[in-house]
Amino acid sequence: MNRLLFLGAGPMAEAIISGIVRKEIMPGTSIYVKNRQNQDRIEELVAKYGINGFNPEKDQLDQFDMIILAMQPNDIGEVCRDLKQKIHPQQLIISIISSVSTEYFEEHLHQQQPIIRVMPNTSSTINESATAISIGKYVEEKHVNFTKTMLEAIGTVYVIEESKMDIFTGIAGCGPAYFYAFMEQMETLAVEHDLPIELARNMIAQTILGSAKMVLLSDEDPMVLRKHVAAPNGPTEAGLFALEAFGGKKAIIEAVKAATERSKEIGKLFNV
């Protein structure tokens, strides 16, 4: 892939640009970014990463090998109508627009347009994203390989069936917010018990980080690891009983279900 264009200049676009440049996947001079408004933001990214702002007087959309759609889904119909007039069917389109299917783009862009759908999460900004990709009908192996390499610069990449994208969104896409909410409550209680907030925040974050690493590095599943911590009649077991008694386990399940269903509902707005 020789030239890459981002349509949209938000935090997720910046995270991917940063990863590409840092990992030297392609030179900054081959990366372009275009925004509808806020030229100051474009200039900020150009100065920070050594990339290019899209210049409509000399740059054409059909000159790029790959275009990443990094805008909100609100006006996606208008975006597709405009894109179709200015691109050709061999260009790879990567969408990081939540809840919009590859089928939608295949229907609204050119016949046999290669489309890859991507769901990163906000941890991409520190190169720790859990990112899913789903492959459209007309995608070639070279497209998949480049996309995986590019997104591995911001974390771990999973290739999944598109039918699983909503549950992935409910778990990994929304997951950071669940953990932040959990941390908020622990932090509040720690401060109520006179722990300094900086100490509380760091020890909670380290506890979650260590637990995550235990899961990733151990051959044992979370249930077994939980039992290792919860000695009979000990503090951990008492805490787990309280978590169950106050609906904690059910709340986790219902949160993921609600997020998954909302992702499906939004997707229905873009049915072909």
Domain boundaries, the chain: 4-165, 173-267
Tell me if 7 is assigned to a ligand binding site: yes
CATH number of 4-165: 3.40.50.720
Rounded Cα gap, residues 190 and 196, in angstroms: 8
Tell me if 72 is assigned to a ligand binding site: yes
Tell me if 90 is assigned to a ligand binding site: no
User: What pTM did the predictor assign?
Assistant: 0.92
Tell me if 11 is assigned to a ligand binding site: yes
Rounded Cα gap, residues 269 and 272, in angstroms: 9
The answer to whether 71 touches 7, Cβ cutoff 8 Å, is yes
> Does the fold of domain 173-267 match that of domain 4-165?
no
DSSP string, 139-164: --HHHHHHHHHHHGGGEEEEE--GGG
pLDDT tens string, the chain, 272 residues long: the values are 589 999 999 999 999 999 999 999 999 999 999 988 888 999 999 999 999 999 988 899 999 999 999 988 877 888 899 999 999 999 999 999 989 999 999 999 999 999 999 999 999 999 999 999 999 999 999 999 999 999 999 999 999 999 999 999 999 999 999 999 999 999 999 999 999 999 999 999 999 999 999 999 999 999 999 999 999 999 999 999 999 999 999 999 999 999 999 999 999 988 75
Rounded Cα gap, residues 117 and 270, in angstroms: 14
Tell me if 70 is assigned to a ligand binding site: yes
What pLDDT shows up at residue 1? 57
Tell me if 9 is assigned to a ligand binding site: yes
Fold of 173-267: ProC C-terminal domain-like fold (1.10.3730)
